[in-house]
Amino acid sequence: MDRLALILVIIGALNWLLVGLFRMDLVASIFGGSTTLISRIIYSLIGLAGIYCLTFLFRERTKVE
C-alpha cells in the first residue's frame, strides 16, 4: 500500500511539474480533458494517496542493523 501511494504521489508531482513548466496537464491530455470522469477519478486517487503519504511523517522509524 505504501509503495502504491508513493507511486501515485510521484505521478501527481510529475504532472504538476509539467503544468508549471510547459502548461501541459498530462493526465488531462491522456484521458480526454480534466473534466472527464476518468481524469477526475485519477486526480482523486492521487489526492487520496497524498493524504495517505502524510502518515509517513508520523511513523516510528526503525533502525536497520
Residue 65: inside a domain, yes or no? no
Question: Is residue 43 in some structural domain?
Answer: yes
Look at residue 12 and tell me if it is in a domain. yes
DSSP 36: S
Q: Give me the pLDDT at residue 17, please.
A: 96
pLDDT, greater one: 63 or 51: 51
Task: Examine the pLDDT at 11 and tell me if it is beyond 90.
Answer: yes
19 occurs within a structural domain:
yes
Instruction: Give the number of other Cβ atoms within 10 Å of residue 45's Cβ.
Output: 15
Which pLDDT score is estimated for 40? 95
Domain count along the chain: 1
pLDDT tier at 63 (50, 70, 90 boundaries)?
confident
Q: 37 or 62, which is more confident? A: 37
Q: Which residue bears the cell 507511486?
A: 7
Q: Can you give the residue range of the structural domain that contains 29?
A: 2-58
Question: Does some domain include residue 9?
Answer: yes
